[in-house]
A and B are shown apart, each in its own frame.
Chain A
């Protein structure tokens, strides 16, 4: 009985998250028409929406919210490692000496 109720709750949770993700996807498509469509605003807003969608997917559809602390910590660690790669590369991209650079 308890299992039935839990599964029923999970089903309604899945549906709620689906509606939220659908709304965020519509927002993704509408954003350049709603906000000032400059490149910086668009990229910033789009990445913000993508991160919000990712958090919903990882927390609910990938069940991390209901997992033990071990799973939560290793997911956070993986994201931190990836973020370090991005930060190091960003420092290269931003502070590189352009005068000797092919891409300059």
Chain B
């Protein structure tokens, strides 16, 4: 590598400058990931926008539909996700502390809680589907427009959120692998930090999903 001649770039006055490149730019890695998070914000933001528009137009039908969701399962999932983000944050602190074993243990706790979230969501969806409520079902199509829209948005938004949970689990497994192969260490941790940021965003989306889908039914 040392024998390679330096790559040059020329400014407007024709003066040569050596291009210095390295593959460990901490701030740029994080900034790039924040930009990705903003695309996620716009993705979910657009769906919340659609929800807000139709909720404003048909409030009573949304309230009626919301009453049929299981608020207890939704509430348990809220606590599960909150606890999982806490463990993920603590795992990051342990890694920086060079306590690799505890960091890995806390990532495993997070993965377990993410699976629990998915299991509860599976039970919840199964209850709805067993009651004949799913997109384009004959029972749902007989209902008022607002209720059809509510359930359409419910399955779309919680479904998208569920896909993000699955992606989060895969990312965390990847992080565990990188810790094992020493690609993530107590001094080189930006990947874990970014995955932790992603997990916080997934939590953030749920912070708005839960009241809009489950609690509005109590306010009718």
- Given A57-B203, A78-B38, A82-B41, do A89 and B53 touch, yes or no (CB 8 Å)? yes
Closest to A92 in B: B53
Q: Which residue of the partner chain, among A28, A39, A61, A86, contacts B211 with CB atoms under 8 Å? A: A28
Contact A11–B211 (Cβ < 8 Å): no
Instruction: Identify A61's interface contact among B41, B49, B89, CB under 8 A.
Output: B89
In the complex, whether B108 has a CB less than 8 A from a CB of chain A is: no
A78-B38, A93-B57 known; A18 vs B207 contact (CB < 8 Å): no
Flag whether B159 is at the interface (Cβ < 8 A): no
> Known contacts being A57-B203, A93-B53, is A41 close to B219, with CB within 8 Å?
yes
Does B85 sit at the interface, judged by CB under 8 A?
A: yes
- Given A4-B97, A29-B75, verify A38-B82 contact (CB < 8 Å): no
Q: Which of B46, B93, B200, B207 has the most CB of A within 10 A?
A: B207
State how many residues of chain B have any CB contact under 8 Å with chain A. Answer: 46
Give the residue name and chain of the A residue nearest to B41 (CB). Answer: A78
Q: Chain B residues with Cβ under 8 A from A62's Cβ? A: 197, 200-201
When C-beta atoms are compared, the residue in chain A nearest to B62 turns out to be A39
Q: Which residues of A contact B204 (CB under 8 A)?
A: 54, 57-58
Q: Are A85 and B49 in contact (CB under 8 A)?
A: yes
For residue A90, which residues in chain B have a CB less than 8 angstroms away from its CB? Answer: 52, 56
CB-based contact B211/A18 at 8 Å: no
Query: Per-residue 0/1 for A1-19: is the Cβ within 8 Å of any B Cβ (1 yes, 0 no)?
Result: 0011001001100110010
- Size of A's binding interface in residues, CB under 8 A: 48
Nearest chain A CB to B216 CB, angstrom units: 6
| B218 part of interface (Cβ distance < 8 Å) | yes
For A74, A94, A103, which residue has the most chain B Cβ atoms within 10 angstroms? Answer: A103
- List A residues at the B interface (Cβ < 8 Å): 3-4, 7, 10-11, 14-15, 18, 21-22, 25, 28-29, 31-33, 37-39, 41-43, 46-47, 49-50, 53-54, 57-58, 61-62, 68, 70-71, 74-75, 78, 81-82, 85-86, 89-90, 92-94, 103
**Interchain Cβ contacts under 8 Å between A and B, 25 examples:** A7-B96, A7-B97, A14-B86, A14-B93, A18-B82, A25-B78, A32-B218, A32-B219, A37-B220, A42-B216, A50-B207, A54-B207, A57-B85, A57-B200, A62-B200, A74-B38, A82-B42, A82-B45, A85-B46, A86-B49, A89-B52, A89-B53, A90-B52, A93-B53, A103-B57
Q: 10 smallest A-B Cβ distances: which pairs?
A: A42-B219, A32-B218, A46-B211, A78-B38, A39-B219, A103-B57, A18-B86, A82-B45, A7-B97, A62-B200
